[in-house]
A and B are shown apart, each in its own frame.
Chain A
Amino acid sequence: MTTVVLAAAELLFLAILAPAVVGYVRWLKARLQSRRGADLFQPYREFRKTFAKGMVIADTASWLFHLAPYVVVASTVAAAVLVPVFSASQAGDQFGDLFALMALLILGTMFLALGGLDPGTAFGGMGSSREMTVAALTEPTLAIAVLALALTAGSSSLGVITGTLLTTPANAIGPGHALAFAAFLIAMLAETGRLPVDNPATHLELTMIHEAMILEYSGPYLALLEWAAALKLTLLLTLAANLFVPWGMATSVGAAALAFGLVVVVAKIAVLATLLALLETRVAKLRLFRVPELLAVSFTLALLAATSSFFTR
């Protein structure tokens, strides 16, 4: 029972933290570009405002257009439950693992793409086509990164992987682990639509991938989709932090341990978000046809990680 309560608490935590992470990245990027930048809580205000607005639905849209935001939210929330946040006892292990998480994320992506195709605009089609291509090419990288982690831990369950690392930190030392981490970060950039794969702040439709698919959504639907995207970013950052650097997570259910775990995970997410903001300020967006090269780099890194973890066993 306590595991279920903890899982619910972790989900609530991620759900509430998500807009703040996006707000922090935006604020830091603004500061790095010598602008003032809106504060951390701006995305919350945007969410509240957008949610309260009325909606304009395209006359060419169908029931799928209305279904898509709910499926995206549902799949992202289900994926978020699987992620270990501040406690090492994982209720999520009972029903899924890393492969299930990957599949849930791709379910969300598919419905976003379908929602982009539905109104019949050229931009929606463009975004859908590009997004599905990038998602398809990211799959092998994520699978091999999962394999590299799962080989040392003996299982692809998230709780087992973090648990094994917590008890035997020696597994984390070595280039294999670092390579898998690097590969995972690059794949994460592709999955969440950040630079250099996609610019989340662009206004030019021809350069959009994720934004183009949600162009027709407004009001509560748009608020839900933006929040789901923020949740996806947050859960992937948490995953990156806790799968590769899990120390600080609570191994018991005492209040002190949990509080400490909470503080540590917020700190880890902050560090990763800072790195993300620095990276986004530093690089320019890649041409779409250069993105497969980037994904090939991350695949090669993941393959090297998997091979080295094989042979040093």
Chain B
Amino acid sequence: MDATFSLLTMTGASAMLLLALAVLWRHHVPAYITAFRMQSVALAFVGAVVAWFGDVSELFLVAALILALKGWIVPRILARMEARRPGDRGLHPLVNTEMSLLLSGGLAVAAYEISRPVAEVISLPTRGGLPLALALILVSLFIVVSRRQVIAQIVGFLMLENGIALLALLGAYGVPLVVELGVFLDVLLGVLVMQALVPGMGEPSAG
């Protein structure tokens, strides 16, 4: 039972991390949005698994909300932002692709090293995925820092949120529903505000 639980959550967490790596690899914005959408679906999957095996029924609601909000609404908003913007495809990121991938590999290794003492203390079956969640957070921060296109930075920030949510799910079987709802509202509001400002954000950020 525990083995299946652990396996399913680790697979979900690995999929989320790999989708963050996809943002570093691909060069087109629609690919970023698809990666984010699939990552949110994976997060919802992990939430559902934790809800089922961990007997925390409110997480089912959280998973459904993640699916609806981050899996459907926010990607649509992002796609609309992308469609409206005059294309600035030729922007190369600050760090080239190979170095980005090697650095994120290094960040993942660092995340494993950092979370080793934590993994020894926590006795939940989901502790194997904690390093992956931490790695996702670090890689998303790196995405935000190193990409020049605004949409890519926004996607990186949203992936950071996903990573934190994953960490909470795996480490403590989620946070109370109220907190989750608050975070969702924050995210939605943030994206709507950014969408309203997009015509003025058509220029790439400097440096």
Contacts and interface: CB of A to CB of B under 8 A. Distances in A.
A288 interface: no
B98 A293 contact: yes
Contacts of B116: 311
A307 B108 contact: yes
Contacts of A304: 14, 17, 105, 108
B25 interface: yes
Contact of A297 (B7, B11, B14, B25): B25
Interface string A93-106: 00000000000000
A293 B101 contact: yes
Interface string B76-99: 000000000000000000000110
A312 B101 contact: no
A312 B13 CA distance: 15
B128 interface: yes
B71 interface: no
A254 B116 CA distance: 47
A293 B25 CA distance: 7
Contacts, number: 48
Contact of B10 (A175, A293, A307, A310): A175
Contacts of B7: 173-174
Interface in A2-21: none
Majority secondary structure, B binding face: helix
Nearest to A182: B18
B14 A175 contact: yes
A300 B101 contact: yes
Contact of B104 (A293, A300, A307, A310): A300
A179 B112 contact: no
- Chain A interface size range: 10 to 19
B14 A179 contact: yes
Interface residues of B, number: 21
A296 interface: yes
Given A175-B11, A296-B98, A303 B25 contact: no
Interface in A145-183: 173-175, 178-179
A166 B128 CA distance: 24
Given A307-B112, A311-B131, A312-B128, A299 B10 contact: no
Given A300-B21, A307-B108, A293 B97 contact: yes
B168 interface: no
B94 to A, nearest CB: 16
B105 A303 contact: yes
Contacts of B98: 292-293, 296
Contacts of B189: none
Given A173-B7, A296-B102, A311-B116, A303 B21 contact: no
What are the nearest 7 A-B pairs in CB distance?
Answer: A175-B14, A300-B105, A296-B101, A296-B98, A293-B97, A303-B105, A300-B101
Given A292-B98, A304-B17, A312-B128, 9 more contacts: A175-B10, A179-B14, A297-B21, A297-B25, A300-B21, A303-B108, A307-B109, A308-B131, A311-B116
Interface of B: 7, 10-11, 14, 17-18, 21, 25, 97-98, 101-102, 104-105, 108-109, 112, 116, 119, 128, 131
